[in-house]
Amino acid sequence: MQQKEDNLKSIISHAKEYGFVFPSSEIYDGLAATYDYGQLGAELKNNIKAYWWKSMVQMHENIVGLDSAIFMHPTTWKASGHVDAFNDPLIDNKDSKKRYRADVLIEEAIEKIRQKIDKEVAKGLKRFEDAFNEAEFRATNPNVLRNVEKITEIENRMRETLGNNDLDGVRNLIIDLEIVCPVSGTKNWTEVRQFNLMFSTELGSVAGDAATIYLRPETAQGIFVNFLNVQKTSRLKIPFGIAQIGKAFRNEIVARQFIFRMREFEQMEMQFFVRPGEEMKWYDYWKSERIKWHKALGIPETSYRFHDHIKLAHYANAACDIEFDFPMGFKELEGIHSRTDYDLKQHEEHSGKKLQYFDPEINENYVPYVIETSIGVDRMFLAVLSSSLKEEQLENDTRVVLSLPAALAPYKVAVMPLTKKDGLPEKAREILNVLKFDFNCVYDEKDSAGKRYRRQDAIGTPYCVMVDHQTLEDNTVTIRDRDTMEQERVAIEDLAGIFTDRCSMKTLLM
RNA sequence: GCGGGCGUAGCUCAGGGGUAGAGCAUCACCUUGCCAAGGUGAGGGUCGUGAGUUCGAAUCUCAUCGCCCGCUCCA
């Protein structure tokens, strides 16, 4: 574990030192669990997304892309179940360690007062028997009135504090009511925390006139609400898929472990619509497709494993994760879920619109079933980065090398002149100016050749082109390989072809 | 949320009441010219932030923010 801890630490500092990932707003001491991608991180992240997009959208005739808005109609989240499932103010009792819904505790306290009133009424009934007028008693008895007033006051406070999201107010109410934990019997309460996974904001700039809307907690719903739009305009027939890459936001209680769990993160999701009854076939298909996508990167296969869900979410009839061996152990990298027709049916119900497909093959209308593949871009980034960063023992020293899959590397080629004179820099720039149309290249002429190689090793550049004196004579250069450290001499005119063969996405997709 | 550890230069860290340090990195010049760490010089830190104690705080105290780990939570 110590080893693992050190691994994550060294990844974090390497990521910062070379401009992959910075703590966000660092000059203001940072913002919890928020990170910015630096100059190299942005390249790597873009390449990861490009690999996914190419493989999912452009390599499949029956999958198309989508880019839906982060803001969605609030009813979307009612339909998806997110509003109800994650909207509770919770409070913990420090002694019993039990967690309660704050509003339920208060309501129970109100209920107790109600019972007091009922007792009072029962007492009155006993006393006056037949002459008892309950309505009048309730309207006049001082004890009852006092308790009714108390309830009204509590209810007002509860409505006000919960409505304003005034969690301290909710806690004060619990303290004032002297509510005790049913288990421990103590009043040793934590703060009240709003366990709503969704971030909310207001649409419309006029206060009071504004509607609360949410930042999407998953990109999937943008696909579901556009299901018919896409299907009708694309002429796609079931089975077909809609893929999307985009930001999602979850107000996690504990966001941690570097970029593994952030409150703002990016997802790559694909929803595959199938005929009901055929979902398990496609579920298995996508399980094998997705693991293939990962394994094509050349990361050791032992770094991956499937984890089948035993307890299924309310919407799923089968689900598994692809787990990756991160520095902190095997954790979820991608989820593959058979979501049934739950989402589309929910949206039909809440919108009143039919979200069905007419299947000409069987001459039937139905709500399609859905297989979802959902992978976190940031997690994929961490997976690639952590599995690539190595310290290698050489004969007389060590080198830090980031053995990124060439197609994902920020720079594909570093072009460098052996010396800063004799026209070598000019020649090197000439080569770079041709290559840069097809490959992200970097130029470096400072320090010794060895040192420059090491610098490129540290940022994962797979190839270095060295321009030397022989270049001026016969238009050949050497290509130095990051992983083997070996060099080969090739003609300048062959460079583009060689790098295409070795660095393009095609190498991963074949 | 609880418990533990930590915060000093871009990175790794030393220092521990009396004017801010090292290695690497960066920049300039020289040297060398195919696997880093040759020479000379330079830049860079109000020691996470804020209060307090003190003649004096990076150092002691408190609070706060942030990071890492474990538990918890989430799925």
Q: Are residues A312 and A377 in the same domain?
A: yes
CB A474 within 8 A of CB A19: no
Q: What confidence score (pLDDT) does residue A68 get?
A: 96
Q: What confidence score (pLDDT) does residue A363 get?
A: 94
Q: How many whole angstroms separate alpha carbon A104 and alpha carbon A312? A: 27
Q: Which nucleotide is nearest to A313 (CA to C1')?
A: B75
In a domain, A79, yes or no: no
Residues 443-462 of chain A within 7 A of strand B, judged by CB, are: 446-451, 453-455
Q: Are residues A319 and A229 in the same domain?
A: yes
The residue range of the domain holding A477 is 401-509
Which residues make beta-bridge pairs with A272?
Answer: A241, A371
CB A480 within 8 A of CB A466: yes
Q: Which nucleotide is nearest to A321 (CA to C1')?
A: B75
Q: Are residues A230 and A263 in the same domain?
A: yes
Q: State the first-to-last Cα distance of chain A, in angstroms, to the nearest integer.
A: 37
In a domain, A80, yes or no: no
CATH number, domain of A418, equals 3.40.50.800
A83 touches strand B (CB under 7 A): no
Cα angle A257, A263, A264 (rounded to 5 degrees) comes to: 115
A81 touches strand B (CB under 7 A): no
Q: How many whole angstroms separate alpha carbon A16 and alpha carbon A10? A: 10
In a domain, A391, yes or no: no
CA dihedral A54, A59, A62, A65 (to 10 degrees): 10
Instruction: Tell me the pLDDT tens digit for each residue of A207-242.
Output: 565 678 889 999 999 999 999 999 999 999 999 999
Q: Are residues A234 and A350 in the same domain?
A: yes
CB A374 within 8 A of CB A266: no
CB proximity list for A182: less than 8 A, separation 6 or greater: none
Nucleic acid strand B: bases within 7 A of protein CB:
1-2, 7, 10-13, 25-28, 32-37, 48-49, 65-75
CB A226 within 8 A of CB A68: yes
Q: What confidence score (pLDDT) does residue A184 get?
A: 63
Q: Are residues A202 and A340 in the same domain?
A: yes
CB A360 within 8 A of CB A351: no
Structural domain ending residue among the three candidates A176, A196, A216: A196
In a domain, A368, yes or no: yes
In a domain, A392, yes or no: no
Q: How many whole angstroms separate alpha carbon A114 and alpha carbon A99? A: 25
The per-residue DSSP string of A436-488 comes to TTTS-EEE--SS-HHHHHHHHHHHT--EEEEE-HHHHHHSEEEEEETTT--EE
Distance of CA A151 to the CA centre of its chain: 43
Q: Are residues A378 and A255 in the same domain?
A: yes
Rounded to two decimals, the pTM is 0.82
Q: Are residues A435 and A492 in the same domain?
A: yes
Q: Are residues A360 and A406 in the same domain?
A: no
Q: Which nucleotide is nearest to A6 (CA to C1')?
A: B68
In a domain, A500, yes or no: yes
Strands A441-443 and A413-417: parallel
A49 touches strand B (CB under 7 A): no
CATH number, domain of A268, equals 3.30.930.10
CATH number, domain of A173, equals 3.30.40.230
Task: Please list the ranges in chain A whose pLDDT falls under 50.
Answer: 1-2
Structural domain ending residue among the three candidates A331, A361, A386: A386
- If one counts the domains in chain A, the total is 3
Q: Are residues A40 and A51 in the same domain?
A: yes
Q: Are residues A204 and A189 in the same domain?
A: no
In a domain, A396, yes or no: no
Nearest to A154, CA basis, from A134, A181, A179, A190: A179
Q: What confidence score (pLDDT) does residue A304 get?
A: 93
Q: How many whole angstroms separate alpha carbon A482 and alpha carbon A399? A: 11
CB A286 within 8 A of CB A309: no
Structural domain ending residue among the three candidates A180, A196, A212: A196
Torsion A411-A414-A420-A423 (CA) sign: negative
Q: Are residues A252 and A123 in the same domain?
A: no
Nearest to A101, CA basis, from A90, A87, A85: A90
Strand extents, DSSP E, A250-368 = 264-274, 304-308, 318-326, 329-340, 357-359, 364-366
The per-residue DSSP string of A35-98 comes to EEE-HHHHHHHHHHHHHHHIIIIIT-TTEEEE---SB--THHHHHHTHHHHT-EEEEEETTT--
Q: Are residues A422 and A339 in the same domain?
A: no
In a domain, A394, yes or no: no
A398 touches strand B (CB under 7 A): yes
